[in-house]
């Protein structure tokens, strides 16, 4: 398959990832990172991180034309970011916005095998990213606009998300299908104390596809539930405490805020999606909206796509790559079911490598692997009333 025209823009947060090679640890991060403990580790690798790099490069590796638009400084980390991007293809860094005198963002990624990752992050130039950094020329003629990680970008969450809503509204007005990904901020930071219900109420009417993780959306919209589940999880990841009722209620709430497709990333448990029952809203999804003959397959659906079975080498960028697979399905005009399989398939390919994107195959190769009988994991979440679809490994909600 040849590369498609650059009709996708992936904008938002970008950073330099510094990833030390860590040993596996059966007792989890709390023991691996115990205070005063000396842990022998291997060499560190440098790669780009954040939504722009992870989702954008994954789309490019799949074979889709994607222009990457992040903001970097003119420092050594900024130069390293451009070098890392261009290693995946000449011109990959052409969309970078270089700000003189500013410090580029970087992240130290703590990602032992078989354990969900931990990030130590400096926001850098991401804090000064503004809607005006995305020119009208950059939006002209694009089919899909994806924006990622506004909670790690000060200008996007200040003033109740005024800048974020303006940017997404401009992309929507240009005719693009608009998608949005989030990140969970440090609760003690300014971003963690921001009024996220107000920000989302302002931004989501301009968003067609919203794709937060379970932890992110609980933190933002249901902090009491987030704290309760966090306490029950004993400080470990809380995804395994989700159930069908919680996912359904969250999906309904997000649709009520204006999105057409509400997705919730569930880590090793897969991807949940709920779609609007309003055919008119689906029809206004922009250039990647389902066609008139396919819209019924996207209407009022509630599905869970379990992960494909693979050997996990690392989870860095897994959610971002899952998003790339879903966006690839949208851009290709696939059914909702096939788009979800493509999403979790891309995420599965990601975790077969320790870094964020080197495991991502070409789109046609991904589809062949799915068609060849790639086994999906059996859901372990409580899903009373849900049924498995006969022609796929997806599960359908009880509505």
Per residue in 5-27, pLDDT tens? 579 999 999 999 888 888 877 76
Long-range contacts of 83-86 (CB under 8 A, 24+ apart): 84/16, 84/46, 84/47, 84/48, 84/53, 85/48, 85/53, 85/57
347 SS3 class:
helix
Give the span between the Cα atoms of 204 and 258, in whole angstroms.
6
Question: Could you report the per-residue pLDDT of 199-232, keeping only the tens digit for each?
Answer: 999 999 999 999 999 999 999 999 999 999 999 9
Which residues are 6's β-sheet partners? 65
With b for 16 or more beta-carbon neighbours within 10 A and e for fewer, the 308-336 pattern comes to bebebbbbbbbbbbbbbbbbbbbbbebeb
Is residue 116 predicted with pLDDT exceeding 80? no
Residues 239-261 have a mean pLDDT of: 97
What backbone phi and psi angles, to 5 degrees, belong to 254? -70, -40
- Among residues 202, 199, 145, 149, the alpha carbon closest in space to that of 175 is found at 145
Question: Could you report the per-residue pLDDT of 264-298, keeping only the tens digit for each?
Answer: 999 999 999 999 999 999 999 999 999 999 999 99
Give the span between the Cα atoms of 378 and 390, in whole angstroms.
14
Is residue 196 predicted with pLDDT exceeding 60? yes
**pTM (predicted TM-score):** 0.91
- The pLDDT score that the predictor gives to residue 43 is 92
What backbone phi and psi angles, to 5 degrees, belong to 110? -100, 105
What DSSP element (H or E) covers 263?
Answer: strand 261-265
Question: Could you report the per-residue pLDDT of 134-155, keeping only the tens digit for each?
Answer: 999 999 999 999 999 999 999 9
- The pLDDT score that the predictor gives to residue 84 is 95
- The pLDDT score that the predictor gives to residue 237 is 81
Residues 118-127 have a mean pLDDT of: 90
* Cβ contact 160:30 at 8 Å: no
State the pLDDT confidence band at 107, using cuts at 50, 70 and 90: confident
State the pLDDT confidence band at 367, using cuts at 50, 70 and 90: very high
- The pLDDT score that the predictor gives to residue 225 is 96
- The pLDDT score that the predictor gives to residue 356 is 87
- The pLDDT score that the predictor gives to residue 83 is 96
- The pLDDT score that the predictor gives to residue 189 is 94
- The pLDDT score that the predictor gives to residue 58 is 98
Give the span between the Cα atoms of 160 and 321, in whole angstroms.
28
Q: What percent of the chain has pLDDT over 90?
A: 81
Give the span between the Cα atoms of 308 and 369, in whole angstroms.
11
Give the span between the Cα atoms of 50 and 320, in whole angstroms.
8
Q: What percent of the chain has pLDDT over 70?
A: 98
35-44, 243-252, 309-318: which is most confident: 243-252
Is residue 77 predicted with pLDDT exceeding 80? yes
Question: Could you report the per-residue pLDDT of 260-273, keeping only the tens digit for each?
Answer: 999 999 999 999 99
Is residue 72 predicted with pLDDT exceeding 60? yes
376, two tokens: 């999906």
- The pLDDT score that the predictor gives to residue 45 is 83
State the pLDDT confidence band at 3, using cuts at 50, 70 and 90: very low
What backbone phi and psi angles, to 5 degrees, belong to 152? -105, 20
* Cβ contact 258:205 at 8 Å: yes
- The pLDDT score that the predictor gives to residue 2 is 34
Q: Average pLDDT over the chain, rounded to whole?
A: 93
């Amino acid at each position: 398959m040849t590369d498609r025209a650059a009709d996708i823009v992936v904008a938002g947060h970008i950073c330099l990832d510094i990833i030390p090679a860590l040993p596996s640890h059966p007792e989890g991060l709390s023991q691996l990172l115990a205070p005063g403990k000396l842990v022998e580790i291997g060499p560190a690798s440098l790669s780009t991180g954040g939504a722009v790099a992870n989702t954008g490069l994954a789309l490019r590796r799949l074979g889709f034309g994607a222009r990457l638009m992040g903001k970097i400084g003119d420092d050594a980390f900024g130069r390293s970011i451009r070098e890392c991007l261009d290693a995946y293809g000449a011109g990959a860094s052409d969309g970078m916005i270089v700000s003189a005198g500013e410090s580029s963002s970087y992240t130290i990624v703590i990602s032992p095998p078989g354990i969900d990752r931990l990030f130590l992050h400096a926001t850098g130039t991401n804090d000064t990213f503004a809607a005006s950094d995305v020119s009208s020329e950059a939006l002209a003629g694009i089919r899909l606009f994806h924006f990622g990680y506004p909670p790690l970008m000060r200008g996007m969450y200040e003033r109740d998300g005024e800048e974020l809503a303006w940017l997404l509204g401009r992309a929507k007005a240009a005719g693009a299908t608009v998608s949005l990904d989030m990140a969970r901020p440090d609760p003690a930071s300014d971003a963690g104390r921001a009024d996220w219900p107000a920000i989302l109420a302002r931004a989501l009417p301009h968003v067609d596809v919203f794709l937060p993780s379970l932890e992110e959306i609980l933190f933002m919209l249901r902090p009491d539930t987030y704290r309760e589940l966090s306490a029950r999880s004993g400080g470990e990841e809380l995804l395994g405490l989700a159930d069908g009722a919680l996912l359904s209620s969250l999906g309904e709430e997000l649709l009520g805020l204006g999105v057409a497709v509400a997705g919730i990333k569930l880590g090793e448990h897969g991807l949940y999606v709920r779609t609007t029952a309003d055919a008119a809203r689906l029809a206004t999804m922009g250039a990647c909206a389902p066609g008139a003959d396919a819209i019924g397959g996207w209407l009022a659906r509630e599905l869970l796509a379990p992960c494909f079975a693979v050997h996990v080498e690392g989870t860095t960028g897994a959610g971002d790559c899952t998003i790339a697979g879903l966006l690839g399905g949208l851009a290709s005009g696939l059914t909702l079911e096939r788009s979800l399989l493509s999403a979790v398939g891309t995420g599965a390919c990601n975790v077969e490598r320790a870094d964020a994107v080197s495991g991502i195959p070409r789109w046609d190769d991904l589809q062949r692997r799915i068609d060849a009988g790639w086994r999906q994991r059996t859901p372990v979440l409580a899903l009373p009333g849900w049924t498995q679809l006969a022609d796929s490994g997806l599960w359908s909600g009880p509505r």
